Chains A and B, each alone.
Chain A
Amino acid sequence: MRKRTAVIAAVAIAALGGGIAYAAWSSTGSGSGSVGSTAELNSTISPVNGAGGLYPGRTVSYSVTINNPNGYPVKVTGISAGSSALVNGCAAGTVTSPAVTDPAGTIAAGQSGTYTLQATMNADASDACKAQTFSLPLTATLVSAA
């Protein structure tokens, strides 16, 4: 009788082992897909009206707005130096604006930011430069601030 009991016990253990193997059931999966990066949209720099009062040797503050047409926030890392073109006999380069690096703040997606710059009229500006409006081409560099 004792021998038979021992055999049955051994069978019981073997069956349990089978149960553990069953729990290891697994499967794998695979597939492929893609994700796209965005193309940037260029910003535009626009003058803010109101700056005036330039005379030879004088520096005034003026503001520009930079828009962000992208779907992500951007940071302006730099605004280039600007120099006026020839206007009604007033020599080119009479009004200049120094470059700005890393101005504070970020521009949210679809919003605009305002930046204050300095414009100086050369001390030797001619009379032809009186009561003129000067345009200074500027370029800004922006990076994603997402």
Chain B
Amino acid sequence: MRRALIVFVVLLALSPVGNAAESPGKAFTIADVGAATGLAPGGTVTRTVRVTNPNNQAISVTRLDTSVGRPSPNCPANAVTVEALAAPVLIAKNSHADVALAVRMAASAPDACKNLTFPLTYSGTAIKP
């Protein structure tokens, strides 16, 4: 019985450590690198974004989604789409990686979409590689 008790105490002592390991890592950031311009109906441009990992361990970014905002009342937000991440991106601890995303303008984009800046909002998920 005494040994069993010791085993339980050990189990309880381990539990808080286990919970701490489950806590998520620090949020990484996603920001534009340079300008991406020249979108025309049916055309594609590259939007390069820098993903910065503030954690003391490497992360693998498995998802990077971009939502496109409506730039003007007469130009629909869906005139422009941004491709999702094709493959996971590994980022070393306290480092960053630049990721190229293809941005496409629909061939049906109306004239109202000329010469506008489309706001982009990035969101992503990473796991421990």
Contacts and interface: CB of A to CB of B under 8 A. Distances in A.
Q: How large is the interface on B (under 10, 10 to 19, 20 to 34, 35 or more residues)?
A: 35 or more
B125 to A, nearest CB: 6
A14 B105 CA distance: 53
Nearest to B39: A37
A18 B18 contact: yes
Given A11-B11, A38-B115, A25 B123 contact: no
A37 B14 contact: no
A146 interface: yes
Contacts of A36: 35-39, 115-118
Most buried by B among A3, A30, A143: A30
Given A29-B126, A31-B31, A144 B42 contact: yes
A27 B119 contact: no
B40 A4 contact: no
Q: How large is the interface on A (under 10, 10 to 19, 20 to 34, 35 or more residues)?
A: 35 or more
Nearest to A144: B41
Interface in A12-33: 14-15, 18, 21-33
Contacts of A31: 29-31, 49, 121-122
B27 A27 contact: yes
B21 to A, nearest CB: 4
Given A11-B10, A32-B120, A37-B118, 8 more contacts: A18-B15, A28-B27, A28-B28, A28-B125, A29-B61, A34-B32, A36-B38, A146-B43
Interface of B: 3-4, 7, 10-11, 14-15, 17-18, 21-22, 24-32, 35-45, 47, 49, 51, 55, 59, 61, 64, 71, 80, 82, 103, 105, 107, 109, 113-128
9 contacts: A15-B14, A26-B127, A28-B125, A29-B122, A30-B124, A33-B122, A37-B40, A40-B114, A144-B41
